[in-house]
């Protein structure tokens, strides 16, 4: 029966024939055949890539700027080895035309291979987002030797806290937009097993989001450690909140200065932080902790996703390279009122955020100041850049306090474009 | 245990052993969420089984590890999988006012391929409707008795809605942009042919003017991008507002939503208590629309077991919700209010819709059933039931008892 229908069907006549069959059962019987190829072929013929190309006319994100009908047509029917598609990568950028404070990226990777299979989209996005960094021709340096950092203990009259964060992905497992429940649980298992091996000042404990007690939850909130189910549509449209809170959790050391988020926006987010201005110590602990975790997973045959073009591979292209955001909460009452503030930050390659994080505006005169860049410079370079920048901002603030004038510093050179 | 040699820092670390990008595999043509079904087969079923220990929805009540294991390797011809069906129920453990369904269909075939899950869900949700039961469709308004005289001192407005799906296209959780646009194009063409008091105009969500938008809001016609996590988690909000729109007749009494929660939602409404007129227009309009679609070689999804096939299993059968906004300040405070509603097979909602509570003693009263009763039967229940409720309200106003008015179970 199915094969005689097959010969009759072609292109748009399919729908006509099925409709004219009238009774639901016959048509359903045909459609139900699990000989997939016809269904797949029929769809491909009926819907060329041009019929699926998203309407991006009101959009302002890196994906919308880079995606053309030609690129879409080429990539639409490809899949990564994990069966992740272009449409899935760009869904978040289609659903979210723009953001009030930042130019968003608008696409995510479902796995390590996404960056290669969909390179024709991701490469220009990476270039756009990372100041012209060209993954086809450039190499990204990795340097986690914290001893190289200088002048990194800040004046605590100004700097209230210091923090460094990055992310790491476990090679061989899909990323949060794409992972199945089993994969996500596997990430949790691998990471939690490794963390249990940390000792000394890094010894700590894991709290699964689904089974923490009320008391534990309140403590984590008070410590500003607890992360919530994502509400930002940038994340939820990228399928990262599926199955919440399954296999999500927080690990931190007993001293509460080293913290790891499991299965939030990335497989892991690694955070070193403390009150006060000792960025040197924060970064030292960061590097030491990261290296130990890497060693512990390697002992069990796992490794982090990394390559020399893109550095550490993370879900969002904005976090490629180092994935590193080093920042301080710093009081700058006079400087923040100065009209040259933004230009100074720009030239120092720093960004400001509110103290609630990326989607907040600053309240009062305390700012979250951190490095802009992620890719093309090493961890040591970026932290030093932040350190030098914050020291400069404090100098400016002090000058303004004394009624002296300040100068806008020359822009820091980028890598050659 | 997965392992990769420490020296391999290559790009194509593929767990399936393949080292080059593949063309989309058969059956997985409409990508969304978890269509990498074959990949998941390498994990044992227990490793993939969702944690439903804190859940209270129909899907969570029915799904078992054994059932999950039997169904997880299947997919519909368009590539919709079990995990796609249940994702919304996994992500949304419960709802404060209603027992949610917790699963959706991505295409017509979902109800067949995953019947082992959906049949019991349907039975649970639709008052014991069995897999062997047949559903009757009756859109002949002359079969409705009365309904033209609900007291408009109490009944502020009357409304009937249903949904329709266009056969041959995937449903909102699963459709591609191309399919969704094709549904829109077809709908615009068909609706443009309506005439007489049904003549009207289409407003695409993405290019309406500010003035048009405000008018539609003032008329209470405009639907917004879904915010309910029940809908978003199933993928219905993708690509908003592409190919979504609202059509309504010039008289503003007949309205069609395109590509919101279903392909089409069809609404007939007007102020006051003339439910008969609302239902007449509803039936006439629907029948005309169905004819126009058929002329263009497209049928609505329908079969004699499930009636009209829609995205949410709760809307199968008639997909019909006939309701009124009615003032029941005294009745609603009566101890037997809930009992009376139950006997009449009616449900109450706030005047803001399913996710709201009532304000100022005004309730949205509508039929609780969708499947196993025809359209006429359901509207009859609403007409008769609301008449009775208004009578009871009047008695309570006068301080009289309503005991002798208590209805039998319908």
DSSP-assigned letters across all residues of A216-274 = HHHHHHHTT---PPP--HHHHTTTTTTTTTTT-EEEEETTSSEEEEESSSSSEEEEEEE
Nearest to B239 among A32, A54, A243 (CB): A54
Is B359 annotated to bind a ligand? Reply is: no
Element containing residue B180 per DSSP (H, E): helix B177-192
pLDDT score at B22: 44
Is B160 annotated to bind a ligand? Reply is: yes
pLDDT score at B55: 93
- Same fold across B42-126 and B141-398: no
Is A358 annotated to bind a ligand? Reply is: yes
Neighboring chain A residues of B45 at a CB cutoff of 8 Å:
none
Neighboring chain A residues of B295 at a CB cutoff of 8 Å:
none
Determine whether the interchain pair B91/A243 forms a contact, defined as Cβ–Cβ distance below 8 Å. Answer: yes
Lowest-pLDDT choice from A41-45, A412-416, B158-162, B329-333? A41-45
Nearest to A18 among B23, B167, B178 (CB): B167
Query: Residues B271-303: pLDDT tens digits?
Result: 999 999 999 999 999 999 999 999 999 999 999
Is B321 annotated to bind a ligand? Reply is: yes
Cβ proximity of A328 and A321 under 8 Å: no
Among A79, A62, A78, A71, smallest CA distance to A133 is for A62
Determine whether the interchain pair B11/A14 forms a contact, defined as Cβ–Cβ distance below 8 Å. Answer: no
pLDDT at A281 over 70: yes
Cβ proximity of A347 and A157 under 8 Å: no
Query: From the CB of residue A36, how many other CB atoms can be counted at a distance below 10 Å?
Result: 18
pLDDT at B20 over 60: no
- Same fold across A41-130 and A146-402: no
DSSP string for residues in A1-40: -HHHHHHH--TTHHHHHHHHH-SHHHHHHHHT---HHHHH
Neighboring chain A residues of B26 at a CB cutoff of 8 Å:
36-37, 39-40
By the CB < 8 Å criterion, does B73 face chain A?
no
pLDDT score at B352: 67
Determine whether the interchain pair A239/B33 forms a contact, defined as Cβ–Cβ distance below 8 Å. Answer: yes
Which of B164, B168, B206, B290 to mutate to test binding with chain A, by most A CBs within 10 Å of its CB? B168
Determine whether the interchain pair A173/B48 forms a contact, defined as Cβ–Cβ distance below 8 Å. Answer: no
In A, minimum Cα distance to B239 occurs at A95
By the CB < 8 Å criterion, does B198 face chain A?
no
Is A356 annotated to bind a ligand? Reply is: yes
Q: How many CA atoms lie less than 13 Å away from B324 in the CB half-sphere? A: 34
By the CB < 8 Å criterion, does B83 face chain A?
yes
Nearest to A84 among B36, B109, B242 (CB): B36
Cβ proximity of A110 and A174 under 8 Å: yes
Give contacts of B 246-285 with A, CB under 8 A.
none
Three-state DSSP class for residue A397: helix
In B, minimum Cα distance to A231 occurs at B229
Q: How confident is the model at residue B261 (pLDDT cuts 50, 70, 90)?
A: very high
pTM: 0.86
Average pLDDT, chain B: 89
The C-alpha of B297 sits at a distance from chain A's nearest C-alpha, in angstroms, of: 5
pLDDT score at A21: 38
Count how many pairs of residues, chain A against chain B, have C-beta atoms within 8 Å.
207
Which of A6, A41, A79 to mutate to test binding with chain B, by most B CBs within 10 Å of its CB? A79
ipTM above 0.95, yes or no: no
By the CB < 8 Å criterion, does B6 face chain A?
yes
Out of 3.40.50.1820, 1.10.135.10, 3.50.50.60, 3.30.460.10, the CATH code matching B42-126 is 1.10.135.10
pLDDT at A417 over 50: no
- Report, in angstroms and rounded to the nearest whole number, the Rg of chain A calculated over CA atoms: 25
Query: From the CB of residue A124, how many other CB atoms can be counted at a distance below 10 Å?
Result: 19
Three-state DSSP class for residue B211: helix
With 0-12 / 13-18 / 19 or more C-beta atoms within 10 angstroms meaning exposed / middle / buried, residue B54 is exposed
Determine whether the interchain pair A81/B179 forms a contact, defined as Cβ–Cβ distance below 8 Å. Answer: no
CATH number for the domain formed by residue range(s) A41-130: 1.10.135.10
The C-alpha of A156 sits at a distance from chain B's nearest C-alpha, in angstroms, of: 42
Highest mean pLDDT among B35-44, B99-108, B206-215: B99-108
What is the C-alpha end-to-end distance of chain A, expressed in Å? Answer: 62
pLDDT at A356 over 70: no
Q: What number is the average pLDDT over the span B219-230?
A: 84
Average pLDDT, chain A: 88
In A, minimum Cα distance to B37 occurs at A83
pLDDT score at A370: 97
pLDDT at B34 over 70: no
pLDDT score at A34: 32
Query: What CATH architecture does domain A146-402 belong to?
Result: 2-Layer Sandwich (3.30)
pLDDT score at A100: 67
CATH number for the domain formed by residue range(s) B141-398: 3.30.590.10
The domain locations on chain B are: 42-126, 141-398
């Amino acid at each position: 029966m199915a094969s005689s229908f097959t010969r009759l069907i072609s292109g748009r006549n399919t729908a006509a024939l099925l409709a004219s069959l009238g009774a639901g059962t016959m048509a359903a019987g045909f459609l139900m055949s699990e000989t997939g190829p016809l269904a797949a072929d029929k769809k491909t013929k009926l819907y060329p890539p041009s019929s699926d190309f998203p309407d991006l006319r009101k959009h302002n994100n890196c994906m919308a700027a880079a995606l053309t009908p030609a690129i879409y047509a080429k990539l639409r029917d490809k899949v990564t080895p994990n069966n992740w598609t272009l449409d899935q990568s760009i869904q978040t950028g289609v659903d979210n035309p723009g953001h009030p404070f930042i130019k968003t990226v608008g696409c995510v990777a479902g796995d390590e291979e996404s960056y290669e299979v969909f390179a024709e989209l991701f490469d220009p996005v990476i270039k756009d987002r990372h100041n012209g960094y060209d993954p086809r021709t450039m190499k990204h340096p990795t340097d986690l030797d914290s001893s190289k950092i200088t002048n990194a203990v800040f004046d605590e009259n100004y700097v209230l806290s210091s923090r460094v964060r990055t992310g790491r992905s476990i090679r061989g497992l899909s990323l949060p937009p794409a992972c199945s429940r089993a994969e996500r649980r596997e990430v949790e298992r691998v990471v939690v097993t490794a963390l249990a091996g940390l000792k000394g000042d890094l010894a700590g404990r894991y709290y699964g989001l689904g089974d923490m007690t009320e008391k534990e939850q309140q403590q984590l909130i008070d410590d500003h450690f607890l992360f919530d189910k994502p509400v930002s549509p940038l994340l939820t449209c990228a399928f990262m909140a599926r199955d919440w809170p399954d296999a999500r959790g927080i690990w931190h050391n007993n001293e509460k200065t080293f913290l790891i988020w499991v299965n939030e926006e990335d497989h892991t987010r690694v955070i070193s932080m403390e009150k006060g201005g000792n960025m040197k110590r924060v970064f030292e602990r960061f590097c030491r902790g990261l290296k130990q975790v890497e060693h512990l997973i390697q002992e069990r045959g796992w490794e982090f996703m990394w390559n020399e073009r893109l550095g550490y591979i993370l879900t969002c292209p904005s976090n490629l390279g180092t994935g590193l955001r080093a920042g301080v909460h710093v009081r700058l009452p006079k400087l923040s009122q100065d009209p040259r503030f933004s230009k100074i930050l720009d030239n120092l390659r720093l960004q400001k955020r509110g103290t609630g994080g990326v989607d907040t505006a600053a309240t009062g005169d305390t700012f979250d100041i951190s490095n802009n860049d992620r890719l093309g410079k090493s961890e040591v370079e970026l932290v030093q850049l932040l350190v030098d920048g914050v020291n400069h901002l404090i100098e400016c603030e002090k000058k303004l306090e004394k009624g002296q004038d300040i100068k806008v510093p020359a822009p820091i050179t980028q890598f050659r474009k | 245990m997965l392992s990769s040699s420490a020296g391999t820092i290559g790009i194509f670390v593929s767990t399936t052993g393949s080292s080059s990008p593949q063309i989309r595999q058969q059956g997985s043509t409409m990508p969304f969420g978890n269509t990498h079904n074959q990949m998941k087969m390498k994990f044992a079923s227990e490793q993939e089984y969702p944690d439903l220990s804190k859940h209270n929805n129909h899907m969570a009540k029915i799904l078992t590890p054994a059932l999950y294991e039997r169904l997880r390797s299947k997919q519909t011809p368009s590539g919709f999988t079990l995990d796609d069906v249940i994702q919304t129920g996994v992500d949304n453990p419960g709802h404060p006012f209603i027992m949610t369904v917790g699963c959706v269909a991505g295409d017509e075939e979902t109800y067949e391929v995953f019947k082992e899950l959906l049949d019991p869900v349907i039975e649970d949700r639709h008052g014991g409707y069995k897999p062997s039961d047949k559903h009757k469709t009756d859109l002949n308004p002359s079969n409705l008795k009365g309904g033209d005289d609900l007291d408009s001192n109490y009944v502020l407005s009357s409304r009937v809605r249903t949904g329709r799906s266009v056969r041959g296209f995937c449903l909102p959780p699963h459709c591609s942009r191309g399919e969704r646009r094709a549904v829109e194009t077809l709908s615009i063409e068909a609706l443009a042919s309506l005439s007489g008091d049904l003549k009207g105009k289409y407003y695409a969500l993405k290019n309406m003017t500010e003035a048009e938008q405000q008018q539609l809001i003032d008329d209470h016609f405009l639907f917004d991008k879904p915010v309910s996590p029940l809908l978003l988690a199933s993928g219905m909000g993708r690509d908003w507002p592409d190919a979504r729109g609202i059509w309504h007749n010039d008289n503003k009494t007949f309205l069609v939503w395109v590509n919101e929660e279903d392909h089409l939602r069809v609404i007939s409404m007007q102020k006051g208590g003339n439910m008969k007129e609302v239902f007449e227009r509803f039936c006439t309009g629907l029948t005309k629309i169905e004819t126009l679609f058929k002329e263009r070689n497209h049928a609505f999804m329908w079969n004699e077991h499930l009636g009209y096939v829609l995205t949410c299993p709760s809307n199968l059968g008639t997909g019909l919700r006939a309701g009124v906004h009615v003032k029941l300040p005294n009745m609603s405070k009566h101890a037997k209010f809930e009992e009376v509603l139950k006997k009449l097979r009616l449900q109450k909602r706030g005047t803001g819709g399913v996710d709201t509570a009532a304000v100022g003693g005004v309730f949205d009263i509508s039929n609780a059933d969708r499947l196993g009763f025809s359209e006429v039967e359901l509207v009859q229940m609403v007409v008769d039931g609301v008449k009775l409720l208004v009578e009871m309200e009047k008695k309570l106003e006068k301080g009289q008892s309503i005991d002798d008015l208590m209805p039998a179970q319908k």
